[in-house]
Structure 1
């Protein structure tokens, strides 16, 4: 296994992956209001959600240091928790300004929009301090078991982002343990062909038997809330396997060379924090619609432009100050 320092070097492949995944995050959020009225859009939306957050979290784990000093934890808090509090307040004011007054009822501990990721990312780094002391295989098995068990407790939900923290942690942990050489296995021709077949099967399966609802993929609800209070653990295990296979399938096709998107892929946190302002504005005033393939392509293009804008150097410079 490579030493952590070797894994931390910037790599065009991983930056390309981060750009593509953050694009799918934005695109998925653009599509969300329209999926109930179209089986095709619901299939595309659900297909994206089977892998985009698990792989995004996997990549976050890949670049995690796993240190446990007080200085490390303090630095993490400044990087993740302070922006969370700031943006939680800003989003509350923004929602009020555009007429979404119901958001005022939420507390500072109930993350707005996508801000749950900041809270969970901090917690994953803290959990990693303890899990990295275990053998890799055992640590992942334990993390998966915890992710399966928490779904039986209704109290573990969106507050503090607890449910998502435990359910998604196995992907973060896998990212920490994996090596560049192991990822490169996905680039073999046979793996790439198999990945295409699997992704196609998933798309067809979701379209004709849409039992894999987005509620299972968002990981914020208990099994009782999802309608399977007794057998939810089995369903979530199926989701784990599906997400892992879909994630590997997508990673198999990520370009390895330097592209226009590569440098933007290193600034995805800005996109993640800021795109909600645009999405909620579009939704509040019904500025978007999807009535055909042209509309869908237009939303895809708009999502791409938004990612480039929010990951641009001017945004980074403003954000750093």
Structure 2
């Protein structure tokens, strides 16, 4: 899923926003929402292929953008407070909120704030990644080290607490985002690169259609060690390295075809965290009512397209006003007053 960094802590004022990043975030969240909506329909070949394809790069995309937008993070009081109010508090709220549908539908109440459930893993991982930002910015070869840690994480049976497998496995994408500069994104907007990006995305979809049935789904979820997926560490490390490379390539291709001008959905892209955190409730309900019509190619297409509409609705001002208390809570009452330097 993302989702990218919460809006209030990631961007400057509206007057100087670059619509390119808002466009990229909205288009990416539509992939997340649509991907989750068709997840329960993967018995249909086209749904399984689409799910596999999207999951190779949709969360890496959000993570790269989150890393890029976190380049200025420090341990200063103001940044620390935003980290708590924009990630830590919403994590607790939605970890508890997602426990309720499980209780109602499955009669199971299982709350563990250290073991993220469903969508909340991203908030936990982003919190940890952002805390580590100053460290990566002082290393000489941060991306090499991040990739090494990602590969090593697959050789160990890490605990579910703190979403360790995903946090370490997807770490290279966050570090890659930290290393990017505006000129890198400017290069993606060149006409030749945009054409190459479109070709790459089409080719990636064709490859996914050809291999999706042969590749275990767990490789695109980053949740388990190599042994748990059924391969030795050498094979698993090579596969993970390939998944990192494929994800980075498709992220670059996706960003290359993203419009840089202001569009009808640019404003919606400012609030993708709302769509990310809220859509899971709709998905869990929708899965209970899928009929035989949904388990067809046309049904999958209809469900996937409905994800675009759902993402758009959840980013609209009325929804944001109604749920701001949970997604972007105002926490000034919980902090002491900032001291201005003498």
* 1:180 equivalent in alignment to 2:187: no
Give runs of aligned pairs for residues 2-17 of structure 1, distance below 5 A: 9-17=16-24
Segment of structure 1 superposing worse, 238-247 or 109-118? 109-118
**Equivalent residue for 2:130?**
125
| In the alignment, structure 1 residue 109 sits paired with structure 2 residue 111 | no
SS in 1 for 2:257: coil
Distance of 1:32 and 1:149 partners within structure 2: 29
Separation in 2 of the partners of 1:38 and 1:153?
A: 33
Q: How does 1:1-321 map to 2 (within 5 A)?
A: 9-35=16-42, 37-64=43-70, 65-97=72-104, 99-102=105-108, 104-105=109-110, 107-135=112-140, 138-154=141-157, 156-210=158-212, 211-230=214-233, 231-286=235-290, 289-321=293-325
State the distance in 1 between where 2:206 and 2:315 align.
Answer: 34
Tell me how far apart the structure 2 counterparts of residues 13 and 61 of structure 1 sit (CA, whole Å).
16
Indicate the residue corresponding to 2:329 in structure 1: none
Instruction: Label 1:181 to 1:212 Cα distance change in 2 as closer, same or farther (>3 A).
Output: farther
8 A contact 1:158–1:221 mirrored in 2: no
TM-score, with length taken from structure 2: 0.85
Q: Deviations over 1:3-38 (max 9, x none)?
A: x989x9521111000000001000000111111x22
Deviation readout 1:71-122 (Å, 9 max, x if unpaired) = 433431222111111111111122212x1224x2452222121000110110
Stretches of structure 2 that go unaligned for 5 or more consecutive residues are 1-10, 326-342
Structure 1 residue runs of 5 or longer lacking an equivalent are none
Q: What are the Cα deviations for residues 174-216 of structure 1, in whole angstroms up to 9, with x where unaligned?
A: 1122112111212223323333333333223222233443311
TM-score after normalising by structure 1: 0.90
8 Å contact kept, 1:223–1:229: yes
User: How many aligned residue pairs are there?
Assistant: 311
**Whole-angstrom CA distance in 2 between matches of 1:47 and 1:187:** 23
CA distance in 2, matches of 1:288, 1:83: 36
Contact 1:66-1:132 at 8 Å conserved across structures: no
Q: Give the Å deviation of 1:225.
A: 1.2
Q: CA RMSD in A?
A: 2.2
Judging changes above 3 Å, is the alpha-carbon distance between structure 1 residues 260 and 245 closer, same or farther for their aligned structure 2 residues?
same
- CA distance in 1: counterparts of 2:304 and 2:155, whole angstroms: 37
In structure 2, C-alpha distance between the alignment counterparts of 1:121 and 1:196, rounded to whole Å? 29
Equivalent-residue separation in structure 2 for 1:115 and 1:171 (angstroms) = 18
Deviations 1:213-237 (A, max 9, x none): 3311111111111111322111100
In the alignment, the residues of structure 2 paired with residue 131 and residue 288 of structure 1 have an alpha-carbon distance, to the nearest angstrom, of: 50
Secondary structure at the residue paired with 2:132?
A: helix
Distance between the aligned counterparts of 1:233 and 1:298, measured in 2? 37
